[in-house]
Amino acid sequence: MRKKAKYNVNAEIFLNNSDFPTPKRYSYSQLQKITKSFVVKLGQGGFGTVYKGSLSNGNLVAVKVLSETKDNGDDFINEVASVSRTSHVNVVNLVGFCLEGRRRALIYEFMSNGSLEKFIYSQGSSGISQLGWEKLHQIAIGIARGLEYLH
């Protein structure tokens, strides 16, 4: 218990003393409720698994449950702080986060059309994306604008 209490001390101090508005903080049990016990898996990557969820107001969200790490939570909370200050049409918004012991999650707005990857790599009979070159070009420009903003 003592080890768990020490684990996120710096993160808690940072959150309590920060001058920026932080997104809503959720407990792990709230995440379980939001995702109906992590039933609908949207995807998985090197940093964690993404699940579909629904907030109490009916808004759909994507809950990214991060893989456990051994660090003290400082990097995570710095990421929450920086991502929560972003606002761009080509960057998905952070709705909230969970930091409970070694359990960490990021809660993003849900994008109803699914993963961009499935559209880019879906092939038609010609062997190229079904979207066509013009649409792929527009997507690439949007991605570049989002990255430029984040940079």
Residues that constitute the known binding site for ATP = 64
Span between the terminal Cα atoms of the chain, in Å: 40
10-47 residues labelled b (16+ CB within 10 A) or e (exposed):
ebeebbeeeeeebbeebeeebbeebbeeeeeebeeeee
Instruction: Please classify residue 142 by burial: count the beta carbons closer than 10 Å to its beta carbon, then call 0-12 exposed, 13-18 middle and 19+ buried.
Output: middle
* Radius of gyration, CA atoms only, the chain: 18
* Positions at the binding site: 64
